[in-house]
Copies of this chain bind each other. A is one copy, B any other.
Amino acid sequence: MTQPEIAKNLKAHRTNLSWSLTKTAAETGVSKAMLGQIERGESSPTIATLWKIATGFHLPLTAFIQAPSPNEFMHFKNGIRFKTLFAFDPILKTEMFAHYLEPHQSQLSAAHDNGVTEDIVVLTGEVEILAAGKWVYLQTGDALRFPADQPHGYRNPTSLPAIFHNIMHYPLLKTP
């Protein structure tokens, strides 16, 4: 791991919410002078103050220490970034993707063929899944299985990017 870039992360989260330094100082309890210095890289905050900042943003501490990292082999469809991990296999009748959701991004999907089941596992961030008519909230590490033969959808309610795996199961002898 390389040295974390707190400066960029803090500025990204702050401008993402359109917060001023004064507003941020009020929310976090850290003086706006210090916030400015941290953003400019002139100061390396202590864990205590970084924790105050994180809780003020209602975000985990890790959101400020690790760099937002995209990945290789990325594809795009309807504005959704995804990556095919395993293409459809006619014997196993499954396929698997990694999906990347930008902050507040959402996507609806039409019903698939009868009997199709879909699995979701959230890798980073938080995701809401529309399954069986309800939006289900999933945190990092959570997993959800639901029938995909009806309209469903994905959305990222947070201001941080989210990544999830989804595995499609096609029990019938149909190609996706």
Contacts and interface: CB of A to CB of B under 8 A. Distances in A.
Interface string A63-83: 001100001110000000001
Interface string A31-47: 00000000000001111
B1 A92 contact: no
Contact of A86 (B4, B51, B141, B145): B145
B94 A51 contact: no
Question: How many copies of this protein are present in the complex?
Answer: 2
A127 interface: no
A6 interface: yes
Interface in A76-116: 83, 85-86, 89, 91-92, 94, 96, 98
Q: Which 7 pairs, one residue from A and one from B, show the smallest C-beta to C-beta distance?
A: A44-B48, A85-B143, A44-B46, A71-B141, A92-B169, A1-B60, A46-B46
7 contacts: A1-B160, A46-B47, A47-B47, A92-B169, A92-B171, A96-B119, A96-B167
